[in-house]
Each structure stands twice: as C-alpha cells, then as structure tokens.
Amino acid sequence: MNAQISDKISSCKTIGRHCTLGLMALAATTASVFAAQSASAQVTQSQYEAQYTSSPSDLLRLDFDTWNLFNSVVNVERQKLSTLQRPQADLSKLRWGGGVQDVEVFFINEGAGYRNQLFYSVDGGTSKNMIFGDISSPLSLLSNSNGPLKLGQGSNLGSFTGNTFIDFFVKSDGANGGTNYLGFDPDQNPGSSKGLSHVIGYTFGDYLLLGFEDIIGGGDLDFNDVVFAVKGVTTSVPEPSLMIGLIATGAMVVLRKRAHNSEV
Ligand SMILES: [Ca+2]
Ligand SMILES: [Ca+2]
C-alpha cells in the first residue's frame, strides 16, 4: 500500500468506522484509478471554502475532508475504465435506509462537456424528480465559469415511506435540451446505450458514491461525467468478483458479515 492510499485511509476514518474497510476494497479494486488520479484537478481547502463564503451557514454541504476523500477516487478525464476496473455496487437493491435520516445527495465533481441533469425516482423511473438542473461548476474537472454548483453542495430529498427503492438518472446534456435518460438498468437505456452500463458505484461507509458516463453509446467510458455521493440509502457490498484482492487480507469475512447484517 503506498503512502497516498495510507493518507486517504487516515482521513477516511473521520467518516465512519466502516470507511477504512470500504477504502481497502477500493484500493484493491481500483489501484490504477488511484495512481492516475493523484495529479488531477486538485482543489485546495481554501478554494473549497471560498465557494461558500456568501452562502447561508445552514446550507447542506460536505466538509472539505469528506469531499476531498470522495474526489480522490473520481477517475481522471477521458481515461477509459475497463469492465474489470469498474467497481459496481448492486444498485438493484438501492433503497431508503429508513429510520429518521433523510436521503441526501452531494455533488462531488463532473468531467463533462455536456450540461447534464440529475434526477431520482421512487417508482422505477415512471416519474423522475430533478435534483440538480445543471451539473457544472467553476471548480470541476471540466469547469464552467457560469456553472451553478459548488463542489460538495448537497440536496435533501426528504424521507420515504416503507421499503422504498430509489433510482437515479442522468439526463444527458439535459440543460441544453438533451432528452436521453441514463439510469441503473442498462436495458432501459436509450439507443446505442441499450444494454450498456452507464454508472459505477462504490460503497463508502455510510455513503454510496456514484459516477455516470454521459455519452450515448458509452463515449470515452471514463464514468466521471456526473459524480455524486448519496447518504441515507442501503445497498449491497461490491460484487465478489471485484473483491479478489481482499481475500488475502482476511477482510472478506468481515464484509460478508456486514452484508448479512445490512440486508433488510
Ligand atoms: Ca468525462
Ligand atoms: Ca463541465
């Protein structure tokens, strides 16, 4: 394990007690992403805080360390992720975590020329509710000086009743009039994207980190065009095929126990 990853694990501990284990899974499965990411789009804490100087103090947002940790695994621009490099939480089981906690969504970054939009649905996609209408920012990977979002900015979706499943959709270039929705179910994607996965997912302690590819047909497959973190949902751990590196560490047993405990 290199010093860079060790540093990330140290900062990760501030998020939650499961976070270090989750990050080990990340390190095992996405080492090439880590290695390539280090020099990309560094945003300092002062730059990050400056985004919020004129914002209400109660504006929903991530603190810098949490945002920076998530941002550190955002893929570099136009670096294709092969199928094996794509960590994939089981999004078919994504649902409201229950209890008193609302579902919160935080913008992490975007490496998109398109002006995408983000939606969620609790009825399988029949009705879609907008979360962010223009996913662009002056500080993002492919920045836009007039982008309305701040890195780390949050949106509270409220709480949901019962055993609610949640889907997220990116409307490709929606702020410029695009009409194509890309979602969790590859078979529901439009045109040449039908059957093609447009999203990768990491479980990160109490958070789920999702990255979308926004180009119909897959484009450069860098999966960094819309990246956001979700808090307040439950899902399964990454697929076993992506956790081979963990077997040697003995962490697999612990993760299986976690998965068992978290099944609803
Ligand atoms: Ca991109
Ligand atoms: Ca952009």
The CA distance from 103 to 225, in Å, is 22
- Whether residue 257 has pLDDT greater than 70: no
Ligand 1 centre distance from Cα of residue 18 (Å): 29
The CA distance from 54 to 49, in Å, is 10
Q: Which ligand is nearest to the CA of 145?
A: 2
- Whether residue 244 has pLDDT greater than 90: no
Report DSSP letters for 130-198, one per residue: EEEEEE--TTSTT--TT--PPTTBEEEEE---SS-B-EEEEETTGGGT---EE-S-GGGS-GGGTT---
Question: How do residues 216-232 score in pLDDT, each as one tens digit?
Answer: 999 888 899 999 999 98
Strand, helix or coil for residue 201: strand
Put the strands of the sheet holding 167-171 in their side by side order.
129-135, 116-121, 167-171, 181-182
Ligand 2 centre distance from Cα of residue 128 (Å): 23
Please give the backbone phi and psi of residue 135, each rounded to the nearest 5 degrees, phi first. Answer: -85, 85
pLDDT bin (cut points 50, 70, 90) of residue 164 is confident
The residues that bridge with 231 in the sheet, in sequence order, are: 104, 207
Residue 138: closest CA among 248, 43, 246:
43
What is the tally of structural domains in the chain?
1
The CA distance from 86 to 32, in Å, is 11
pLDDT, residue 169, reads 97
- Whether residue 179 has pLDDT greater than 80: yes
Question: How do residues 39-73 score in pLDDT, each as one tens digit?
Answer: 346 899 999 999 999 999 899 999 999 999 999 88
Q: The whole model's pTM is what?
A: 0.76
All residues at 6 or more sequence positions from 99 whose CB lies less than 8 Å from its CB, including other chains: none
Q: What angle do CA 159, 238, 20 make, to 5 degrees?
A: 85
Q: Which ligand is nearest to the CA of 215?
A: 1
The CA distance from 56 to 154, in Å, is 13
The residues that bridge with 182 in the sheet, in sequence order, are: 170
Question: How do residues 9-25 score in pLDDT, each as one tens digit?
Answer: 333 333 333 333 334 33
Ligand 2 centre distance from Cα of residue 229 (Å): 18
What residue numbers bound the domain in which 126 lies? Answer: 3-262
pLDDT, residue 88, reads 66
Ligand 1 centre distance from Cα of residue 1 (Å): 28
pLDDT, residue 224, reads 94
pLDDT, residue 211, reads 94
